[in-house]
Structure formats: structure tokens, C-alpha cells
Structure 1
């Protein structure tokens, strides 16, 4: 049976050279929970419509006038979207995000 010092030594051998950002990421998610929920909902709505239309991220980025990388960030559901971006998404995918606010 290994001693506690041997176990700790073995664990340190496999320790990452850079500190984990787990706590920092968890704290960020908690601090931004309210708008992240909306962002994730929008991303799911977009993915459903893109699937229905057979549309790629590249094509959507062309229609929106932005980079494919930005569309990818939006579809991860962790992007704090501007009203301008929301309007572009609605127009390009023919979906309603803002609902009755646009009327």
C-alpha cells in the first residue's frame, strides 16, 4: 500500500504546468447566467433553422456580413449579442427572436 506522500508525489507528476481555469470559468458562468440562458436559447433556435434550411455557418456568415468564426461563437451560446446582430440573425434565417418588440 502506498503512503500519502507517494500518492501526492505521483499526482504532482501528472499535474498540469498551468493552473486550471475551471473556477474562473465557473464564476464567469454564474455571474453571466441571466443573459447566457438567452444566448443558448438563440443558438438552439438558429441551429434548428439552419438544419431545416441546410445552411452552413459559412453561408450564414456571408448573409450576415461577418466572419464564420463569429457565427461559430454565436452558435456556442456564449456570445452577448447586440440588437444589431439579433436583427441580422432574424433577417437571414427568417426567425423571430425579439418577438413583438420588432412591431
Structure 2
């Protein structure tokens, strides 16, 4: 029948797992990922309030539904331009409109 280790190896995937690389990437990008997740949560709340689908939001933003899906996963490094488009499409304020000059 074989040892437990042999039986486990029989069920191992052919390609190695990339969990370690993904964990390192998340740690290295932790600061902006947090903002991306917050933006995604605010978008999802507003979409639910409006009964808006990803496809409908994509039409408002002028992009593909697949890109909206990527944004809503909270792991997309958004440009200021994209954030402004999201604000306009969903009537949200994600960035402060005035910044204090020091």
C-alpha cells in the first residue's frame, strides 16, 4: 500500500504551488493593496445600492467587464485617472478633492 508520504505524493499536482511567491508579493505590496481593497469594498457597496452589475459599470467606465472584475478583487494598482473615473461613474469620493499645501 505504501507509506503516507508515498500516497500523498501520488495526489500532488504536477506543477509546484506558488503560494510562497504570492505571500511574498502581498507582503511587499501591502501598503497599496490595502487601499485597493478599500476602493473595491466602497465600489461593491455603491454597486449594490444602485443595483449595478459589473457589465453596467464597465460601460460607464469605458472598459471591459473583466477589468472591473480585477478591480473588485482588490488587487489592482489603480492610477489616479482610473480612480477619478470610478468616482464619476459611481458618484463616490475616494480621494480628497483638496490637498493642504504645507
Which residue among 39, 45, 48 is the counterpart of 2:45? 48
Structure 1 partner of 2:23: 26
Q: Does 1:58 align with 2:61?
A: no
1:87 aligns with 2:95: no
**Structure 1 segments (4+ residues) deviating >4 Å:** none
Unaligned runs of 5+ in 2: none
Matching residue of 1:37? 34
Rounded to whole Å, the distance in 2 between the matches of 1:28 and 1:22 is 10
Instruction: Give the counterpart of 1:11 among 1, 8, 12.
Output: 8
TM-score (structure 1 length as normaliser): 0.91
Aligned length: 99
Supply the distance in 2 between the matched residues of 1:71 and 1:59 (Cα, whole angstroms): 10
Secondary structure of the residue aligned to 2:97 is helix
CA-atom RMSD, angstroms? 1.5
1:101–1:76 distance in 2 versus 1, CA, 3 Å: farther
